[in-house]
Chains A and B, each alone.
Chain A
């Protein structure tokens, strides 16, 4: 979907308090596309899980330089919705002291038609989630 038009772009500080903000912004975006309710719920959950991963992992090695940011974008083609969640943090790596259950990525994988996790040079991670829109 590289040639697609970006229809939503949002950048917020990487804090837990901002995750509902991202979710509500995404809900507003999805409202405008008249998606089925179940698909909307799936997208909102997947975006929340991806943003939670950023808050919990991406910038945890930073001292007092302030929080990093979460960048969220979404674009719709005819039959797909592609949502990307990016950070400029330490990069994707296993963590033995994870504060969560480690369910975030499995949940994302279950909710999406495709998910790609890419390094983002010079540092950071991009999670690209593709949803197939039901037609008819």
Chain B
């Protein structure tokens, strides 16, 4: 159950950064800092790919996410679908009201599991 901190899974794209932590055998937490849009979509995709390789449940901690658009949502949706196909899931925790707004608007909350 202990936190097993690993090397940063993704990298830094502009002012957006990604750090991966394995907190349980089947859960990997991806802490994201910055803005998620078309400019950081490739880095988000890489970070999620790496997290998916670690566990069936990927928990994206959005505490440090200041902005998220539909391009980033598309990347998250693809990850959620890959994980679901093997019995896992993508979780999103600590989303700001602005981030939750676009999730609700696009109904992606049906695919990405929201954690308060």
B39 near A20 with CB under 8 A, answer yes
Please name the residue on chain A nearest to B70 by beta carbon: A103
Complex alpha-carbon distance, A89 and B32, angstroms:
34
**B115 contacts A by Cβ under 8 Å:** no
A100 near B71 with CB under 8 A, answer yes
Contact with A along B96-116 (1 / 0, CB 8 A): 011001100110000000000
Contact with A along B26-43 (1 / 0, CB 8 A): 000000000101110100
Which one of A4-12, A37-45, A115-123 is at the interface? A37-45
Contact with B along A86-125 (1 / 0, CB 8 A): 0000000000000011011011001100000000000000
Q: B41 — which chain A residues lie within 8 A by C-beta?
A: 16
Number of interface residues of B (CB under 8 A): 20
B106 near A107 with CB under 8 A, answer yes
**A80 contacts B by Cβ under 8 Å:** no
Q: A56 — which chain B residues lie within 8 A by C-beta?
A: 38
Complex alpha-carbon distance, A100 and B73, angstroms:
10
Interface residue tally on A, bucketed by range: 20 to 34
Complex alpha-carbon distance, A52 and B105, angstroms:
18
Count, A-B residue pairs, CB within 8 A = 61
Q: Which of B66-116 contact A (CB under 8 A)?
A: 67, 69-71, 73-74, 77, 97-98, 101-102, 105-106
A17 near B39 with CB under 8 A, answer yes
Please name the residue on chain B nearest to A48 by beta carbon: B69
Q: A23 — which chain B residues lie within 8 A by C-beta?
A: 35, 37, 67
**A127 contacts B by Cβ under 8 Å:** no
Complex alpha-carbon distance, A48 and B98, angstroms:
14
**B14 contacts A by Cβ under 8 Å:** yes
Q: Of the candidates A19, A101, A103, which one forms a contact with B38 in the assembled complex, judged by CB atoms under 8 Å apart?
A: A19
Q: A101 — which chain B residues lie within 8 A by C-beta?
A: 70, 73-74, 77
Question: Can you name 10 A-B pairs with beta carbons within 8 Å?
Answer: A16-B39, A19-B38, A23-B37, A41-B98, A45-B69, A48-B69, A49-B69, A101-B70, A101-B77, A111-B105
Which A residues lie at the B interface, using CB under 8 A?
Answer: 16-17, 19-20, 23, 38, 41-42, 44-45, 48-49, 52, 55-56, 100-101, 103-104, 106-107, 110-111
Extra inter-chain contacts (6) besides given A19-B39, A20-B14, A48-B69, CB under 8 Å: A23-B37, A38-B97, A48-B67, A101-B70, A103-B106, A106-B106
